């Protein structure tokens, strides 16, 4: 039963990210943490994410552009140590609650009020990448600022999905390299990876299939729905800590 549960979650994680370009960690990490230790899960999920993003990069190769990724990725490296500092000195639950409130408001606004689609100045991408680095260092989740930033750009669904996928691919490549360097990719990680790779690939392929049948408008609405779900998760964890600490 545990194996079936594991395979189902991995398929679902691959499907969600194949469909939207993000969200696999949101699906897999909390659900699998009931059965597996975080020291095994985090490098495992990072490897899975690397496979997912490699597949999506190939699927979106016609819109490949480093100019879209680098202005986001480089500031992330600067923000990472600041995030680690915050993690050591501020309770992560307060950070989660603050992020949850901001995302909740933005997601509702995006779902029910038409957001402007504008060519943002270059410093906006630097801020988004910098904030992503801070969140990555403090909460282990660098996605929200990147998702918010790209959703404001006048991009069609393919270019928008590539911006997300390209960023997460290069960030994930660095993360998995660090895991390997510090010996975190153990025999248990490799064993689970080998078991889950087929359902993961099938999930990604299924997600890509449905993605191609979405209009740009529907795709962006789906992005906001997932942002809303992410915000609820952060708010729940933050409020629960404050009320019952």
pLDDT in tens, 5-32: 899 999 998 998 898 887 787 778 778 8
Helix (H) or strand (E) holding 137: helix 122-139
Question: Under a CB-based contact definition with an 8 Å cutoff, are residues 80 and 181 in contact?
Answer: no
Question: Under a CB-based contact definition with an 8 Å cutoff, are residues 196 and 46 in contact?
Answer: no
Among 195, 232, 240, 225, smallest CA distance to 5 is for 195
Matching residue, tokens 């140590």: 81
Structurally, the chain folds into a number of domains equal to 1
| Tokens coding 161 | 């999905």
**Is residue 212 pLDDT above 80, yes or no?**
yes
The C-alpha angle 206, 18, 196, rounded to 5 degrees, equals 75
- Residue 6 lies in domain: 2-244
pLDDT band at 115 (very low <50, low <70, confident <90, very high): low
Burial of 30-48, coded b for 16+ CB within 10 Å and e otherwise, reads ebbeeebeeebbbbbbbbb
pTM of the model: 0.75
pLDDT, tens digit (0-9, with 9 covering 90-100), for 127-176: 998 988 887 766 667 777 888 888 788 878 888 888 888 888 888 887 78
Burial of 194-213, coded b for 16+ CB within 10 Å and e otherwise, reads eebeebbbbbbebbbeebee
Positive or negative: CA dihedral 59, 63, 65, 69:
negative
């Amino acid at each position: 039963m545990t194996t079936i549960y594991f395979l189902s979650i991995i398929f679902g994680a691959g499907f969600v990210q194949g469909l939207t370009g993000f969200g696999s960690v949101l699906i897999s990490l909390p659900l699998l943490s009931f059965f597996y230790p975080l020291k095994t899960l985090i490098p495992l999920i990072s490897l899975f994410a690397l496979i997912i993003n490699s597949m999506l990069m190939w699927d979106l190769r016609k819109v490949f552009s480093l100019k879209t990724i680098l202005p986001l990725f480089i500031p992330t490296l600067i923000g990472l140590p600041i995030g680690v500092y915050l993690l050591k000195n501020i309770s992560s639950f307060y950070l989660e609650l603050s992020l949850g409130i901001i995302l909740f408001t933005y997601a509702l606004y995006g779902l029910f009020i038409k957001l402007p689609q504008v060519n943002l100045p270059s410093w906006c991408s630097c801020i988004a990448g910098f904030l992503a680095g801070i969140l990555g260092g403090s909460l282990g989740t660098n996605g929200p600022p990147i998702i918010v930033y790209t959703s404001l750009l006048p991009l069609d669904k393919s270019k928008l999905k590539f911006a997300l996928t390209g960023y997460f691919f290069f960030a994930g490549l660095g993360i998995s390299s660090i895991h390997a360097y510090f010996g975190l990719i153990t025999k248990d990680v490799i064993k689970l990876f080998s078991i889950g790779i087929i359902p993961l690939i099938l999930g990604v392929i299924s997600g890509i299939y449905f993605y191609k049948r979405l209009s740009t408008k529907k795709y962006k609405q789906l992005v906001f729905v997932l942002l809303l779900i992410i915000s609820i998760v952060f708010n729940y964890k933050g409020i629960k800590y404050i009320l019952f600490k």
